[in-house]
Amino acid sequence: MAKLASRFRGSLIGALIGDCFGAQFEFLPMAITASKVVDFVTVLEKKKPEKRKESLYFTDDTEMREGVEESLLEKKGFDKKDMATRFAERYFVSPPKRSYGSHVPNVFMAWKRSDYENIDAPAMSQFNFTGSYGNGGGMRIAPAALFTHHQSPEKLKELSDKITKLTHTHILGIHGAYLQAMSVWLALKAEESQFSTKEFVDQLKEKMKFYEDEYSNREENKDKNLDSEESHCYLHKLDVIKSFLDRKDVSNEEVVKELGHGVSSQSSIPTAVYAFLRSVEDTKTIPNRNGFERTIIYAISLDGDTDTIATMAGAIAGAFWGEESIPKSWQECCQGLDTAEKTAKSLYQYVTEQS
């Protein structure tokens, strides 16, 4: 079983690799298959180390994840002004390749105009005051699971909600980010030799049912007549994942139809969870590769929002199998590797001292 320090490194480096590798395919106007992704990684693996080094850039997924980590460590917990300032100031100097979501920069600009005094309102006014349900909450949330490793899932929920609501206040964005955070949190604690993918889904279902029930039972939501697929969206998708895990013939088309591969939380976060779980069980579709490698290759093969689905799946897979499962040749390709390694060590040290 991978040691905890290795799992911390695995989660952040796994997230980084998913982003850097997936960004090469994000919304490409061509069909992607697992064999095309395998060809891509094989070319990288055969390159001379000096040619590989930092040859792949990271995008907004990593830039915002780094903002979360830096702020949590510096402030020893959540500080909204500090985290918001880090998000925005990084965005204002970032190269165009970071390709942020189309609407989230409005939040950064509004914060800056208020000199970082008005933090809550800009996110709430997004999308005609419904708030964003983009997957920008989930893509950056893994460090919250590391930070609360020795705390309860309820503490993780509190922290995940605060980090997400800075930019994403739609309930599907908030619940989606928690589903991703909880998946990393559980993967960090899981033992490979006794691991059951179904039990993992059941643990997630229990949490999502509680929070989705709580939301739909709130007085102000009772007269909205939310249909059950909307109000219990993640519970429903976790059931789909469970039924997929029972079968060996689930095609990419079916996964995309039922779980999605888009930029919304609801059409990408359950997909990332499934990419990890499927890769634990299915050792045949992508042969001669370990579980971490299968997770990344499979997540990207689903096409669509490949950097974000692979970053979320990579964060879970890296937490489960640890850093040793991630080929050095893959790691060396990524811009941002030194930061991910250093931050994972600091987070590990921080939580160990706290426990």
Contact positions vs ligand F2R (CB under 6 A):
26-27, 59-61, 99-104, 127, 130, 132-136, 139, 170, 263-264, 305, 307-308
Which of residues 26 and 323 has its CB atom nearest to ligand F2R in the complex?
26
Question: Residues 263, 305: contact at Cβ < 8 Å?
Answer: yes
Smallest separation (angstroms) from Mg ion to the CB of 222: 35
To the question of whether residue 306 is assigned a binding role by annotation, the answer is no
Question: Residues 61, 140: contact at Cβ < 8 Å?
Answer: yes
To the question of whether residue 61 is assigned a binding role by annotation, the answer is yes
Smallest separation (angstroms) from ligand F2R to the CB of 355: 32
Smallest separation (angstroms) from ligand F2R to the CB of 181: 15
Question: Which listed option, ligand F2R, Mg ion, none, makes contact with residue 134 (CB within 5 to 8 Å by class)?
Answer: ligand F2R
Which of residues 183 and 308 has its CB atom nearest to ligand F2R in the complex?
308
Question: Residues 303, 171: contact at Cβ < 8 Å?
Answer: no
Q: How would you classify residue 10: left for phi > 0, otherwise alpha for psi between -120 and 50, otherwise beta?
A: alpha
Q: Partners of 264 in the beta sheet?
A: 134
To the question of whether residue 352 is assigned a binding role by annotation, the answer is no
Look at residues 166, 189, 139 and name the one whose alpha carbon lies nearest to residue 22.
139
Question: Residue 266: CB partners within 8 Å, gap ≥ 6?
Answer: 133, 172, 176, 233, 234, 237, 260
Which of residues 161 and 305 has its CB atom nearest to Mg ion in the complex?
305
Question: Residues 139, 308: contact at Cβ < 8 Å?
Answer: yes
To the question of whether residue 60 is assigned a binding role by annotation, the answer is yes
Based on its alpha-carbon atoms, the radius of gyration of the chain, rounded to whole angstroms, reads 19
To the question of whether residue 307 is assigned a binding role by annotation, the answer is yes
b vs e for 157-183, b when ≥16 Cβ sit within 10 Å of the residue's Cβ?
A: bbbbbebbbbbbbbbbbbbbbbbbbbb
Which of residues 61 and 332 has its CB atom nearest to Mg ion in the complex?
61
Question: Which listed option, ligand F2R, Mg ion, none, makes contact with residue 135 (CB within 5 to 8 Å by class)?
Answer: ligand F2R
Q: Which residues bind Mg ion (CB under 5 A)?
A: 28, 59-61, 303, 305, 307-308
To the question of whether residue 308 is assigned a binding role by annotation, the answer is yes
Per the annotation, binding residues are 59-61, 305, 307-308
Task: Indicate the annotated binding residues for Mg(2+).
Answer: 59-61, 305, 307-308
